[in-house]
Structure formats: C-alpha cells, structure tokens
Structure 1
Amino acid sequence: MTGNGLFVTFEGGDGVGKTTQAALLEEWLTAEGSTVVRTREPGGTEVGLLVRDIVLHHRGEIAPRAEALLYAADRAHHIETVVRPALARGEVVIQDRYLDSSVAYQGAGRVLGRDEVRDLSLWATGGLLPDLTVLLDLDPGAARHRLDADDKPFDRLESEQDDFHSRVRAEFLALAAAEPDRFLVLDASRPAAELAADIRGRVGLLLR
C-alpha cells in the first residue's frame, strides 16, 4: 500500500470501460467501509479542468512535446493537492488515467519515446507509482465501435487514426509486461460484472 492508503489507477484506450469499472469499484469499497477519493487525469482539480480543455478540446494544433508537458503539469499539481493528501489520510484513491497513459499516448502514440515521457512524469509526481494499475485491454476497432455508439463528439485523442491507437494499445501491453506485479490486465470485451469481480478480488488482497 502507498503510505497509509491505497492507490488504484485504471488504464486503457478510449472506450474500454474505465469509468464504468472505477464507479463499480468505488461503490463496492464504500459499502465495505472504505473512504474513497475518485478522481481522474486530466481534470481532477480546477487547474486540471483547464488543462483538460486545452489538451482534449483545443481546436488548434498542439505540439507533441507541449502536450506532454501540459499533462505532466496537471499531474504534478493533482498528485500534490489531491492524491498524496488522500493517501496520507489512509483513503483509497481510484483514478482514471495516470502516468502510464502519458507513456502510451505521448510516448508511443506521438512517438516521443517511452523513457523520456515516463521520466518526466516520475519527476512531476516525485516518483509516485500506483499500488495497482488495472489495464482494460480491447482491440481499438471494438473500442471505436463503442465510442461511435455513444454518439458523442470525439476529443483530440479519440479522433486520431487507427495506427495511433494501435501504438497506444501495444505500449500499454508492453508496460504491463514490464511490471506484472503492479498491473492487472483484463480483457475488456468480457461482461462488466465479471471484470468488476476480478478487480475486487485483487483490491481485496491488497487491503488485507
């Protein structure tokens, strides 16, 4: 466990079901008596909401290195003001996206390099890594079909071409293979209830 609390992050491509599974985990933990802080990146703070609007909804071009730096700036503020205080209080932090997303989307998707982007995020967060990272893995084509069914406008990253999303998926899987103790990789095409049960099982072990 991280400090006195527990830090759980959800990762994966757009449309894999991270929000659904984070909500189900929060519901279960709260019923079990845990105090939960549910948050996301970017957008977990007032500053983060401003950054989120820039990186996901800005209509003009953003240079890839500038994009990576914006995510890192949001992450530094978010960890310092939200996540570390919650962990110090002994709470469970459930977070939608963290530094692995930057490594996958900016490092691989934007082809900036895994090590450079990871090092930037580790510096921004003072080296904080999650106790558990749940990677919901899904073929990008299937994920795109889910997004199409939502009938919502795509953001800047969702609008990228298929080869971008294929690089992102491959990088997520490579990260999980490199740190098997931290990652729980699940097939996101399975029913939501089955996925939730697997996640509860792993989190329950960590809490015990």
Structure 2
Amino acid sequence: MENVKTDQKGQLITLEGPDGAGKTSILEKLASLLEAAGYEVVTTREPGGVTISESIRKIILDVENTSMDNKTELLLYIAARRQHWVERVLPALAAGKLVLVDRFIDSSVAYQGYGRGLSVNDITWLNAYAIDDTKPQLTLLFDVPSEVGLARIESADVREVNRLDLEKLDMHKRVRQGYLDLAKADPDRIKLVNANQDLETVVATAFDLVQANLAK
C-alpha cells in the first residue's frame, strides 16, 4: 500500500451515529466549546469536505439514484474518503490541529456492511487503504433508537433528506446494530453517548469525553 506520509501532530476525533442522531448540531456546539477552551479546531464532514468529495456526495445521496448498486455506493464513499483524507484531514493534523469529522470509517461498516450486507472484512480493508491504515484517536458514537432518529428527520425543516433517509426502518435498525457492535468491539476508541437526551446534555457529555481523551 502506498501511504501518504505525514507527521501527525494533531488529533483526529470522529462523530458517528445513525440517521437523526443530531451529529451536525452536536458538532457545531462541541467545536465552539473546544475553541473556547483554547484548541485550534477544524470541522469537516464525510462524504464531502473538499470539492471533489462534495461532488461525489451529490451522486451518492441523490434521491434519484435509487438504482445504485451497493458496491458502487461503497466504492464512491471510499473514493470520497481518500480525497478528503489527503486534501483536508492530513494537512490539518500535520499542523497540529484538532480535527472533528462528521462521519468516517465506521459509517462504511455500519451502513454498507450491516445495512447493505457487504463484507465487513472487505470494507475494513478498503478503509485502511483509503486512509493509510490510520484510525481516529477517539470516536463519539451518538446512539438513538431508529424510530426516534427517523421521526426527527421527518420533523426537521432544514436538514437535507437524502437517499439513505428513504430506506425502510429495518435498514436503519441494522445500521444502528452495526454501530453498537463496533462500540462493543473497540471500547477504548469508540465511546457511546446517549443522544436521546436534550442537546445541551449530549454536548456536555461529548465535551467531557474529548477533554478526557486529550488529557491522556
């Protein structure tokens, strides 16, 4: 594997969770708290974050693309991840910044592995290939029952409704179970947060977890 070399001086923290968990709102408030605490923070998202990856995002999430093959979907996510990694994440880490990413490698396992039924081993290998066999220092998994998450999406006025939101409840339940299995398998990295609470409580819990991780 041809890796992109960098001196990683910063910290990579990812935010994960099923649809409707509130990651975007949490990310904004968490970043503000960390900046107020003196950290230089970069926020970004997957798929997207840079021009090429945002273009791929539009293809993946377009509600018209219902005929997309599951493996095509996975490979598009991986391609977007690679470009985002080399163009956005690595330079920020090399500069010593705290990088917060809305969705990352665990999303592929949860959605394309558990949700779509693709090989988790294949997905794990593709993730490692895309990001040079690296992992986040910390992953915050915001958990919410699937029914609650989908109800939040339906009631939201500003959140984009994408192709994955249109999937049936069973798909979302499989995705949630995938996340929970990942957290159980890697408890040192993945910290479970109950997102079925008021936003301020969830953000405060997330802030404490990040502070504890940075203090190590």
**TM-score normalized by structure 2?**
0.92
Alpha-carbon distance in 2 for matches of 1:137, 1:155: 20
Name the aligned partner's letter for residue 82 of structure 1: R
Secondary structure of residue in 2 paired with 1:19:
helix
* Structure 2 equivalent of residue 128 of structure 1: 134
Aligned mate of 1:22, from 14, 20, 27:
27
Secondary structure of residue in 1 paired with 2:162:
coil
Alpha-carbon distance in 1 for matches of 2:30, 2:125: 29
Aligned mate of 1:96, from 85, 94, 102:
102
* Structure 2 equivalent of residue 63 of structure 1: 69
Q: CA RMSD in A?
A: 1.3
Matched, 1:174 2:181: yes
* Structure 2 equivalent of residue 78 of structure 1: 84
Aligned mate of 1:157, from 161, 164, 176:
164
Secondary structure of residue in 1 paired with 2:205:
helix
Secondary structure of residue in 1 paired with 2:164:
coil
Secondary structure of residue in 2 paired with 1:158:
helix
Alpha-carbon distance in 1 for matches of 2:121, 2:195: 27
Q: Which runs of 4+ in 1 moved over 3 A?
A: none
Secondary structure of residue in 1 paired with 2:9:
coil
* Structure 2 equivalent of residue 191 of structure 1: 198
* Structure 2 equivalent of residue 53 of structure 1: 58
* Contact residue 48 and residue 74 of structure 1 kept, 8 A: yes
Alpha-carbon distance in 2 for matches of 1:42, 1:99: 11
Any unmatched runs of 5+ in structure 1?
Answer: none
Aligned mate of 1:207, from 201, 208, 214:
214
* Contact residue 16 and residue 137 of structure 1 kept, 8 A: yes
Cα deviation for residue 84 of structure 1 reads 1.1
Alpha-carbon distance in 2 for matches of 1:24, 1:184: 18
Alpha-carbon distance in 2 for matches of 1:177, 1:3: 27
Secondary structure of residue in 1 paired with 2:187:
coil
* Structure 1 equivalent of residue 3 of structure 2: none
Any unmatched runs of 5+ in structure 2?
Answer: 1-6
Cα deviation for residue 197 of structure 1 reads 1.4
* Structure 1 equivalent of residue 4 of structure 2: none
Cα deviation for residue 207 of structure 1 reads 2.1
Q: Percent identity?
A: 38
Alpha-carbon distance in 2 for matches of 1:29, 1:153: 26
Cα deviation for residue 51 of structure 1 reads 0.5
Name the aligned partner's letter for residue 107 of structure 1: G
Stretch of structure 1 that moved more, 184-193 or 163-172: 184-193
Cα deviation for residue 6 of structure 1 reads 1.0
Matched, 1:105 2:111: yes
Alpha-carbon distance in 1 for matches of 2:97, 2:202: 23
Alpha-carbon distance in 1 for matches of 2:212, 2:143: 22
Secondary structure of residue in 2 paired with 1:129:
coil
Name the aligned partner's letter for residue 92 of structure 1: L
Alpha-carbon distance in 2 for matches of 1:10, 1:205: 16
The number of residue pairs the alignment matches comes to 207
Name the aligned partner's letter for residue 171 of structure 1: G
